[in-house]
Structures are given as structure tokens and as C-alpha cells.
Amino acid sequence: MIVFGHRIPMTGSLLLWALLWEIVGQLKLTILLPPLSRVVLRAFEIVPTETFLSAFAVTASAFVAGNLIAILVGVPLGILMGSSVVADRIFLPWVNLFLSAPLTALVPVIMVLFGLGQTTIILTVVLFAIWIIVLDTRAGVRSISPSLIEMAASFGAGRWQTFRKIYVWAALPEILAGIRLGVIRSVKGVIIGQLLVSIVGFGALFKLYGSRFLMEHFWAVLIVLFALAFALAEAFAWLERRVEFYAATRG
Amino acid sequence: MTALAHQFFTEPSPVTDCAVSVRNVGKVYAGVVTALENINVDFPRGQLTSLLGPSGCGKTTLLKIIAGLLPATSGEVLVNDLPVAGPGPERAFVFQDFALMPWANVLRNVAFGLEMRGIAKSEREEIARSHIAQVGLAGFEARYPHELSGGMRQRVGLARALAVNADVLLMDEPFSAVDEQIRRKFQEDLLTLIAREKRTFIFVTHSIEEAVYVSDRIVLLSARPGRIAQIIEPAIERGGDPDAIRRHPAYLDTVDAIWQSLKTYLE
Amino acid sequence: MAEHRAGIEAAHQGYRFSRVFPFQGSGKALREKRPNALASFATHHFTLNFLSAAALCGAWEWAGLVPISPAFPTFGETMGALWSISADGSLAGAFAVTLQPLALGLVVSMVLGVGIGVAMGLSTKTEWLASPIFIVAQSAPLAALIPLIVFAYGIGLTSKTIVVCIMAMPVIVLNSFAAVRHTPKSLIEMGESFLATRRKVIIRIILPAASPVIFAGLRLGCASGFIGAVLAELLITPTGVGDLITYSRSIADYPTMYAAILSIMAFSVLFIEVLSRVEVMIFRPEKRAVS
């Protein structure tokens, strides 16, 4: 936005909202909303504590493990679906189904099968992340320019060489896009899983602060969490932009 | 064909030394669409032969069959008297859309064909560098395709095809994706290249002027299903000034005669 | 700031995959494709879809028979339970309850979301003010807000409706915004060159041009809304289908629990499928012709 000839960056409006929050908090309009300044101070106080760090470690390890599984299974499956019509026909309906289904409903199933622990959270992360990775990888493989494949064939490249030298690189922008979207979805997944299981990680923390009505603590954790999620999404977006030109030949 | 035109181009002389020979080739897509029918044509060694015809006549299909990228439904293609079963080291392809790998720099793109042949990195990069210099791109080795103009990209595609030192260069409308002025420059450069390299060129184009300007022979294909309508050899002396070609009466008359013949395929 | 990122997600799911790709893989170009009755039957998509569905149900049945876990009923038992909760009306009753916050939340999100998104697309000031909020909301785990919502609005319909709204709104807003912002410039200039007023340009050009992407955003919003509705019922208070799931789980009636989960997932998938059919019908004549 431009005010009096000065361009004010988009993030400027976040400051405006923060100010509004501070005012509402100071006026004590609702007990739910403590002033932002106190929340931020509380955040600095909470983050170094054992409780927070262990919750973070538990969450991060489930998140990383789940995403790794989703990538290791999802990318090869996507490449298979992108290059084989039969595999595509077999798997595509299920991938599409799980992509738009309310996966939250499946968390109770995972809970009764695998108990109320870390395994359940990891599986929830996989469940949220994997489908978009598969679908994007498939799209990446399918949008590879046919002439690039012909080019490799004309110089005598074998199947494995074509896969290694062409497919993986040409589909990389889409694969990374899939991973980025998968990461965003699984951040939501890990929190939903922890809220439903409610005795691990941040889920337990929210329950604790909620039951004791510690609003400043609650908001502090929430803000840290949102900031982490946003930073993670932006980091992947940055990575993706760096390889965007790999797809440059597409019409 | 008018009697007048005959003075300026001739019916084909029998080919004594042919690099590529196409025998009874037919191509049917998906069992229903006949793209090519009974194609018999020889491509003389060391010359440039154009495939010219209305759009959809199967000229690119024929080129890809010669390249081994598409299988023929019937008939066979002989390169240096050996039947084609797939792509081979004696043929190199130049693509209409350049087909450069966007993630690889110019050097790696040019060296790709050599890399596929298992040539050691240092050696293939040396060969690639000399070909990059030859097409006038010295200094651009570390650039990526998206940093180059369309004309420069096609020079990279050409350098890549030259680098593998193939006998036969197959060019699929190589200049159609660059602008008119660059195209003219490329056509002139192509004449120099033919004179210097003594290789066999098979050149697909939809431009009559381009075909007459660069070709030793022109194979005219009919509308789908593609058959050979006529083979002509423009009686144009190519040794001298490249600009003189476009003013040569034989050039103008050949262009006109081909246009009169192709016009019948356009509704 | 990644203003258009979320819009890209929608464009992603809505458009990129709907493109028709003629090319099917590396080996195919070199191999001749001859029509073969048996092969074409085997690869026909109904055959393969049916086979893969049958295989999955078979695997489920087998896994239930082993059993891989005492909490894993067979496919047959689950279908039996589905039949009995359908027959005694408890499933219909549960859906009637679940659909209330869902429908309410979706209607609110659509009206508000499209409104805010279009306003952001039309005015850079609104965009400046609102877009950071929705961009953060898009990537943040908003489910963490649920305990707060319960403090504020109790455990009733209001809370559940709000949960649906916060889940569904960001994607709707950001898609409507991106759709309006990315109206082809030449179309707007065409309108202006024929002396259309700003109002006419908006009504006759911008909104129609943006509507396919707006609708795609609504479809994605509905999918998120379902997640919200189920989450609200599992987390806030068990009602409707959430109650069916929670209760049958507490008494270890696993077939009924699975049947309830299956039914809500099937309902949501069918609903989204209907929406995308409608989308194809209204906006994509070219896609309809191909399929």
C-alpha cells in the first residue's frame, strides 16, 4: 500500500493488527485476549523451559519422521503413476479420495490400532502429507516435455539413464511443490493428532494451559507455533523458487 | 508444373551414394489414422534434403521414424545400408523446441550426447567447448538455457547435435521457434555449415522459401496420408554470395512452382 | 511475502491436473501401440478401478480375519454395522446433527470468504490490510485455536460452526483474491476501451473471469470444512457422527465405529465429487468434451 508516497510493506499491516490486539488486551475487554506485549514476554519465558522444549522435540520428531515416510513412499509412487497408465488407473482414485476426505475422522482408527502414543502421531502426519506429494509428483512426471524424452532417446539414453538424468530433474519443481504442500498439511495434521490424543507434545501443553486458564501461556505457545509453521512454509517456498526454472521448457 | 519452371529445377538425378534410404515406409497411428503411405526416398550423402509439405502431412513423423524415435508400421529405413531399429550414434537430432535441459548449463547440455556414450567428463567437456565456440557461444558455457535468447538456445541444440560427430543430422523445423531476422541468419550459417562439414542433413520445414534457400533436394509430401508428391533439385549455385540466392531467378521460380503445387492441398 | 501462494495451491489442485497430457512415459514413444481387445479390456479404467477396489476390500477382509488387531473388524462386519445403523435410523439422525454446523459454517464462510477475497482483489488497500492474516492462517495449524473457541463460545453449535469457518475461510478468501487479481489485463482494457464503467467492468468482466477459480476455492473450502466439522465433534463434545464414533469406540463396538467413519468420509468425498462435476459442467466445456 502507498501512503503519502511511501510504500508500506505488506507486513506493515501485521503491526497494525498487533497494535489492535494490544489495545483490546489492555482494555481488558475479554479475559481470552491478554495484551500482546505480555504474551510475547511470556513466550520468551516459556520457550527455554523443559516443558516446552520436550513438547517441541516430541512434535518435531513425529513431524520429521512422518514427512520422511511420506516423501520416501509418495515420490516413488507418484513417479510410478506418472509413467505407467496401469498403475495410474489403480491408484489415482484412492489418492484423489484421500486428498479430499476428512482425514481427521481416521485419527480415531489409528488411535485404537496403535495406541495413544508417538506412532499414532507419526501415522497422522503421513496420512496428511502423502497424498498431495503423490499427486504433485505424478503431475510433474506427466508434464515433462516429450521432446526432452525424445532428445534423451535420440542420444541413446537407456531407461534408467532417462529416469536419472531427465525425469527426476524435470519433475523436481513439482515434487518440491508437493513436499511444501505436504509439509503445510502435516503441520496441521500433527497438531490435530496431538489435540485428539491430548497426552503428547503440544496437545498436552494446550490441555494443561487450557484447564488452568493460563491464557498468556496459551497464546504464547500458539504464536510460536504459528510462526514456526509459517517460517517452514516460506523456507520450502524459497527452495521451490530456486528450482523453478527446471520447468522452463514447458509450454 | 509449367514448362517455364522446368528450366530452373530438375527432376531428381538417381542417387548413387545414399546415406539414408527409406523403403516402403508407412505409418498408421492407433490403427486408424494413416500418417504416411508407401514412402520411398533416398537421401544423398553430404547434401541437405528438405521434407516439405502441408501441415499434418507427416513430415515430422517421417523424420522421427528415420531417427528411430518412432517405429514404422511397415517398411524399413536403412542408414549406411543398415536397418534402423532405434536411435543410433550415426544420427543426431535437432529439435524444434530445442529440447534443452533447463537444469543443466550450456556446457552440460552440449556434452549430453557424449555423456550418454560414456565418454569421460574432461574429454567430453573439451569436445563440447570447441563446438560451443564453433556456434559462436564461447563464454556462455556456464549459462543456463533460461538465461539465453531463443536463437542462442537453438545454437546450443545445434552444438549438441554436432558434438556427437554423427554422419546424419536430422533437423525438425529447427528455425521455426526463432524470429524472422535470426532465422535468416541461421539459414545463411546453415549453408556455411553444409559446405564445411560434408555431412548429410535431413531438414523438415513448412516454409517454402526456407526449403528452396537451403536445400540441395526437396522432397514434397502430399496432404494426409503423406505420400511423396515430387522430388526436385533447385538449380541454384551455392558456392558464392548467400544473398545472391534469393535474387536468383531459379530461386523465385522454384518457390512459385512449389507454392502452386502445395496450394492444391489447402482448402 | 508469498501473496499468491495459496491461490497457487488451488490452481494446483483445480487446474494443473485437469490438463490433458498426451504423453504417457518414456518407453511408449518407442513402442508400437496395437489395439488388442484383451489388453484394452484389462487397462480400461472401469476394469482397473473395480479390480483395485475389490483388492482393497479383500485386503481389509483378510486383515480383519487374521486379525491384525482386535480393534480391526473385517470388511463384512463393518458393512453389517453400516447396514444396522442405517436401518435403525441412528446414522441418519447423526448426520442430521453433524450437518447443522457444517452447513451453517460453510454458508458463512462462502459469503464472507468470497466477499473478503473479492474486495482484496479489487482494492490494494484491503489486500494490504487483510492478506497477511489469511496467508498466515493458511499455513498455520488453526486447530490449535479450538480450545480457545470453546472457552469463548461454549460447547454448542456456535463453537462448532466457528471451527468449520476457520478451517474453510482462508482457502476461500485467498482463491477469490487470486482469481480477481489475475483477471487477464487485456480483458479489462478491452472493457475500458469500450467505455465500460468500473462497476460494469467488475460485474461483466472481472467476476465472470474469476468465477472458475473462485468456485475451485469453494470446493477446497468445503473439503476443509468437513475436516473442521469432524474435528469439532471429536474434540469439543461428541455429537452426531462424532458421537457415534466416540461412543462405539468406548464400548469397543469397532464395526460400528468403522462404519460411522466410513460413512462420513464417503459422504464428504461424494459431496466434493458432486461439486467438481458441477464445476466441470459450468466452467469447463473443454474438459467435459475430453472425458
Model confidence over B223-260: pLDDT tens digits?
878 888 888 888 887 777 778 888 888 888 888 888 98
Q: Is residue B151 part of a domain?
A: no
CA angle A226, A227, A229 (to 5 degrees): 65
**CATH code for the domain in which residue A136 is found:** 1.10.3720.10
Is the separation of the CB atoms in B226 and B58 below 8 Å?
Answer: yes
Contacts of B108 in chain A (CB under 8 A): none
A120 and A65 in one domain?
yes
What is the pLDDT confidence band of residue C172, given thresholds at 50, 70 and 90? very high
Helix (H) or strand (E) holding C67: none
Average pLDDT, chain C: 80
Q: Tell me whether C35 touches chain B (CB under 8 Å).
A: yes
CB contact under 8 A, A150 and C29: yes
The type of residue at A33 is L
Q: Tell me whether C123 touches chain A (CB under 8 Å).
A: no
Segment A87-99 mean pLDDT: 88
- Total structural domains in chain A? 2
Kindly write down the DSSP assignment for every residue of B114-150, as one continuous string.
HHHTT--HHHHHHHHHHHHHHTT-TT-TT--GGGS-H
CB contact under 8 A, B144 and A156: no
Contacts of A79 in chain C (CB under 8 A): none
A161 and A50 in one domain?
yes
Rounded CA-CA distance B74/B27 in Å is 7
Q: What values do phi and psi take at C188, rounded to 5?
A: -65, -40
In the sheet that holds B18-29, the strands lie side by side as B33-44, B18-29, B74-79, B82-83
Q: Tell me whether C24 touches chain B (CB under 8 Å).
A: no
Among partner residues B30, B70, B73, which is closest to C29 by beta-carbon distance? B70
- Predicted pLDDT at C30: 33
**Taking 60 as the threshold, does the pLDDT of residue C14 lie above it?**
no
Segment A3-27 mean pLDDT: 82
CB contact under 8 A, B67 and A151: no
**pLDDT above 70 coverage of chain A, percent:** 96
Q: Which A positions 11-70 lie with beta carbon below 8 A of chain C?
A: 11-14, 16-17, 30, 32
**Cis, peptide link before residue C22, omega less than 30° from 0:** no
Rounded CA-CA distance A124/C227 in Å is 14
A16 and A72 in one domain?
no
Among partner residues A1, A105, A234, which is closest to C264 by beta-carbon distance? A105
- Å between C199 CA and nearest CA of chain B: 41
Model confidence over B86-143: pLDDT tens digits?
888 889 999 988 888 888 899 999 999 888 888 899 999 999 999 999 888 989 989 9
- Predicted pLDDT at A4: 66
Which of B103, B108, B149 would best serve as a mutation to test chain A binding (most A beta carbons within 10 A)?
Answer: B103
**Taking 70 as the threshold, does the pLDDT of residue A248 lie above it?**
no
Q: Tell me whether A3 touches chain B (CB under 8 Å).
A: no
**Taking 90 as the threshold, does the pLDDT of residue C103 lie above it?**
yes
Q: Tell me whether A98 touches chain B (CB under 8 Å).
A: no
**Taking 70 as the threshold, does the pLDDT of residue C289 lie above it?**
no
Burial of residue C3, with CB atoms counted within 10 A of its CB: 0-12 exposed, 13-18 middle, 19 or more buried: middle
Is the separation of the CB atoms in B61 and B21 below 8 Å?
Answer: no
- Predicted pLDDT at C4: 37
Model confidence over A108-155: pLDDT tens digits?
999 988 888 889 999 999 999 999 999 999 999 988 888 898 999 999
CB contact under 8 A, B101 and A166: yes
- Predicted pLDDT at A242: 85
Burial of residue C92, with CB atoms counted within 10 A of its CB: 0-12 exposed, 13-18 middle, 19 or more buried: exposed
Contacts of B64 in chain A (CB under 8 A): 150
Contacts of A157 in chain B (CB under 8 A): 116
Helix (H, G, I), strand (E, B), or coil: what is residue B202?
Answer: strand
Contacts of B86 in chain C (CB under 8 A): 30
Residue C215 DSSP code: H
Domain C98-284, CATH homologous superfamily name and number = MetI-like (1.10.3720.10)
Q: Where are the beta strands (DSSP E) in B65-194?
A: 74-79, 82-83, 91-94, 168-172
- Strands B18-29, B33-44: pairing kind: antiparallel
A66 and A23 in one domain?
no
* H helical segments located in C182-206: 185-193, 198-200
Half-sphere CA count of C269, side-chain side, radius 13 A: 16
Rounded CA-CA distance B29/B225 in Å is 11
Single out the residue of A173, A107, C69, C65 nearest to residue B146, CA to CA.
A173
The type of residue at B148 is L
A73 and A177 in one domain?
yes
CB contact under 8 A, C29 and B73: no
**Taking 60 as the threshold, does the pLDDT of residue B214 lie above it?**
yes
- Å between A182 CA and nearest CA of chain B: 24
- Predicted pLDDT at C107: 95
Residue of chain C whose alpha carbon sits nearest to that of A235: C2
Q: Tell me whether A226 touches chain C (CB under 8 Å).
A: yes
**Taking 70 as the threshold, does the pLDDT of residue A245 lie above it?**
yes
**Taking 70 as the threshold, does the pLDDT of residue A22 lie above it?**
yes
**Angle of helix C124-139 relative to helix C5-14, nearest 10 degrees?**
70
- Å between C61 CA and nearest CA of chain A: 16
Among partner residues A148, A161, A251, which is closest to B101 by beta-carbon distance? A148
- Predicted pLDDT at C170: 93
Is the separation of the CB atoms in B48 and C8 below 8 Å?
Answer: no
Segment C168-196 mean pLDDT: 88
Q: Which residue did the predictor score with more confidence, B31 or A249?
A: B31
Helix (H, G, I), strand (E, B), or coil: what is residue B246?
Answer: coil
Q: Tell me whether A157 touches chain B (CB under 8 Å).
A: yes
- Contacts (Cβ under 8 Å, ≥6 apart) of A214: A208
Contacts of A173 in chain B (CB under 8 A): none
CB contact under 8 A, A172 and B92: no
CB contact under 8 A, C230 and A89: no
Among partner residues B95, B117, B146, which is closest to A151 by beta-carbon distance? B95
For the ranges A2-16, A133-147, B180-194, C202-216, the lowest mean pLDDT is seen at A2-16
CA angle B265, B266, B267 (to 5 degrees): 115
Helix (H) or strand (E) holding B240: none
Contacts of B112 in chain A (CB under 8 A): 151-152, 155, 165
What is the pLDDT confidence band of residue C26, given thresholds at 50, 70 and 90? very low
- Predicted pLDDT at C188: 86
- Å between A238 CA and nearest CA of chain C: 10
Rounded CA-CA distance A137/A68 in Å is 15
Helix (H, G, I), strand (E, B), or coil: what is residue C88?
Answer: coil
Residue of chain A whose alpha carbon sits nearest to that of B67: A154
Rounded CA-CA distance A62/A124 in Å is 9
CA angle C28, B84, B190 (to 5 degrees): 95
**Cis, peptide link before residue B145, omega less than 30° from 0:** no
Rounded CA-CA distance B62/B71 in Å is 10
- Contacts (Cβ under 8 Å, ≥6 apart) of A139: A82, A174, C16, C17
Q: Tell me whether C22 touches chain B (CB under 8 Å).
A: no
Model confidence over A175-187: pLDDT tens digits?
999 999 999 999 9
Domain edges within chain C = 98-284
**Taking 90 as the threshold, does the pLDDT of residue A67 lie above it?**
yes
Q: Which three cell numbers stand for residue B131?
A: 563446438
Work out the end-to-end distance of chain C between its first and last CA atoms, rounded to an integer number of angstroms. 38
Single out the residue of C215, C207, C244 nearest to residue C98, CA to CA.
C244
Q: Which residue did the predictor score with more confidence, C56 or C24?
A: C56
Average pLDDT, chain A: 87
Rounded CA-CA distance A144/A148 in Å is 7
A140 and A68 in one domain?
yes
What is the pLDDT confidence band of residue C3, given thresholds at 50, 70 and 90? very low
- Total structural domains in chain B? 1
**Taking 70 as the threshold, does the pLDDT of residue B64 lie above it?**
yes
Structural domain including A25 reads 1-33
Q: Tell me whether A102 touches chain C (CB under 8 Å).
A: yes
- Strands B74-79, B18-29: pairing kind: antiparallel
Single out the residue of A169, A154, A133, A185 nearest to residue A247, CA to CA.
A169
The dihedral formed by the CA atoms of B204, B206, B208 and B214, expressed in degrees to the nearest 10? -30
Residue C251 DSSP code: T
A75 and A107 in one domain?
yes
- Predicted pLDDT at A70: 95
What is the pLDDT confidence band of residue C18, given thresholds at 50, 70 and 90? very low
- Predicted pLDDT at C190: 85
ipTM score of the complex?
0.85
Is the separation of the CB atoms in B161 and B94 below 8 Å?
Answer: yes
Q: What values do phi and psi take at B24, rounded to 5?
A: 50, 35
Model confidence over C49-100: pLDDT tens digits?
788 888 888 888 888 888 778 888 888 888 988 999 888 888 999 999 999 9
**CATH code for the domain in which residue B78 is found:** 3.40.50.300
Greatest extent of chain B over all pairs of C-alpha atoms, in Å: 59
Q: Which B positions 88-107 lie with beta carbon below 8 A of chain A?
A: 88-89, 91-93, 95-104
Q: Is residue B131 part of a domain?
A: no
Distances (CA, A) of B5 to A94, B220, B252, B256, B264: 66, 16, 10, 9, 17
- Å between B132 CA and nearest CA of chain C: 29
- Predicted pLDDT at B11: 66
